[in-house]
Amino acid sequence: RAKERGRGRWEIFEPELNERAQRRMSDETALGAAIARQEFLLHYQPVVDLRTGAVTGFEALVRWQSPERGLVPPDQFIPLAEETGLINVLGRWVLEEACRQGRLWQLALGDPTLQVAVNVSARQFQQVDLVEQVATVLRTTGLPPASLLLEITETAVMGDPAKAAATMRRLAAHGVRFALDDFGQGYSSLGHLKRFPIDVVKIDKEFVDGLTRNASDAQIVQAVLTMAQALGLEVTAEGIEDHAQLDRLRTLGCNHGQGYLLSRPLPAAAATALLTARTPLPCPPPDPAGQVR
């Protein structure tokens, strides 16, 4: 009977499995072709000094401008790029493009301290020539190493913590800085932080969401801020969407933030306009009476 059931299942599942394998293969081909055709672009989300509203840097976020599918967000192609190894080619392009753009902004503003953050996934981080790649890109673009912030997640480093720490130290020796992205999503052991040369902790959006709604999230954020201060780390809160969250973060002493309230990720030209206008973020809310100020 078990055998019968098994055979029955096989008949049901085989075509589905095939379909999935075929879809994956065609997705992989499409992604490879998109890379060859250079259909990717970067959007830039401002990182804001919450005390002054000034833009202190941008996080580069990749998008696929597909002729068939329109603007495709990274969650829909980064995992496949990661699985297939295509992330290495794509990631190298992202790094170079972000550094090039960052240097242009620095020169336009006369501000060499403007930061450029680039996300680096687990597989990218394991590339044997990563350090050399980063050094080359910094040299060719002229971006000061201290202006580059590499964002990695706990899960990316915890596969082989000793090796990850060694790679990070080699990059840090070049002057590059590190942010621990999505903090709170992974192991979140404070002890782990000490073994990596981390400069910035990015508090995951989930905790920012809960900040004004439940006491435990507020306590977690408070604890991260206290710990960061003790370790001499900067903290950036991710995903700030309303004024209540912003006020609370300011009160807690969180100095940097990102989120739709401050600005969505922007195309390069819009980011340039925002920078040159030097308008503090968040822009004042529209006058309730609808009158021109």
Least distance CB 265 / ligand C2E (angstroms)? 5
Judged by the rule CB under 5 A, the positions of this chain that interact with Mg ion are: 119, 151, 181-182, 238
Q: What is the C-alpha to C-alpha distance for residues 174 and 84, in angstroms, rounded to an integer? A: 29
Q: Which of 106, 141, 236, 258: binder of ligand C2E (CB under 6 A)? A: 258
Q: Which residues contact 32 (CB under 8 A, 6 or more apart)?
A: 84, 86
Q: Minimal CA–CA distance to 258: which of 46, 42, 43?
A: 46
Q: At what angle do helices 243-252 and 215-231 cross, to 10 degrees?
A: 40
Q: Which of 72, 94, 176, 203: binder of ligand C2E (CB under 6 A)? A: 94
260 binds, among Mg ion, ligand C2E, none (CB under 5 to 8 A by kind): ligand C2E
Tell me: does residue 245 bind ligand C2E (CB under 6 A): no
State which residue, 94 or 138, has the beta carbon closest to Mg ion.
94
Q: How many residues does the chain have?
A: 293
Q: Which of 97, 154, 182, 234: binder of ligand C2E (CB under 6 A)? A: 182
Within a 10 A sphere around the Cβ of 22, how many other Cβ atoms? Answer: 10
- Where do the H-state alpha helices sit in the chain? 2-36, 78-84, 87-109, 122-125, 130-141, 154-158, 161-173, 190-194, 205-210, 215-231, 243-252, 268-277
Q: Which of 31, 35, 45, 147: binder of ligand C2E (CB under 6 A)? A: 45
Residues that bind ligand C2E (CB under 6 A): 45, 61-62, 73-75, 78, 91, 94, 119-121, 151, 181-182, 239-241, 258-260, 265
